[in-house]
Structure 1
């Protein structure tokens, strides 16, 4: 599975659990941490957990290596590290506070509208 297919899988998994304002950043040229960051959010901790669980389930079903998971217990900011792709699932207030989009503002945004249902 190539990176675009992985990105689509993850974005669709998040969207299926009503993730909001999902952004995919191509950080390949500006970071050694990963090639892509996915940032998404939800209004409640329960929904943040559901989004992360769905992403993890789809990753396992597709034999993607899950290197690290952080923040599952509090479910305010859950980080899922898949190596080349790092997923950040935020509770909406936490997303505003940490503002990763500003931190990585030099990154190109990957178009995801075809992957998200309205």
Structure 2
């Protein structure tokens, strides 16, 4: 399975749980940190957890486990590290505050339709 296929599965898992403002950044174009960031907003702490759980469940079905997880305790920003893809799920306030898209402004956006 390619990194693009994995990124598409992540996008779909977020979309299934009604994540908002899903952005895919090609971080690999500007950094060796990873290939993609997938960033999404949830409307509540409960939804942050539900989205993160769904991403994990869908990738586990494919035999892919997260290398690292952060933020499950606070449920305002959950980070799932899949090596080549990092998933950031924010509540609205923290998405605005951290503004990863601005921080990584040199990374091009990727249209989900161009994946897989």
Q: Which TM-score applies when normalising by structure 1? A: 0.93
Shift of 1:110: 0.7
Shift of 1:29: 2.4
Q: Which SS does the other structure have where 1:96 is aligned?
A: helix
Q: Taking structure 1 as reference, are residues 15 and 37 closer, same or farther at Cα in structure 2, changes over 3 Å only?
A: same
Matches within 5 A, 1:8-19: 8-19=8-19
Moved over 6 A (4+): none
**Partner residue, 1:91:** 91
Shift of 1:2: 0.4
After superposition, give the CA deviation of every residue in 1:6-45 in whole Å (9 maximum; x if it has no partner).
1110000000000000000001121221110010011100
Shift of 1:65: 3.3
| 8 Å CA contact 2:43, 2:92 repeated in 1 | yes
Aligned length: 115
**Partner residue, 2:31:** 31
After superposition, give the CA deviation of every residue in 1:59-95 in whole Å (9 maximum; x if it has no partner).
1111113100000111000000000000000001100
Matches within 5 A, 1:11-90: 11-90=11-90
Q: Distance in 2 between matches of 1:112 and 1:36?
A: 12
Q: Which SS does the other structure have where 1:31 is aligned?
A: coil
Shift of 1:114: 8.0
Q: Distance in 2 between matches of 1:67 and 1:4?
A: 18
- Give the gaps of 5 or more residues in structure 1: none
Q: Which SS does the other structure have where 1:65 is aligned?
A: coil
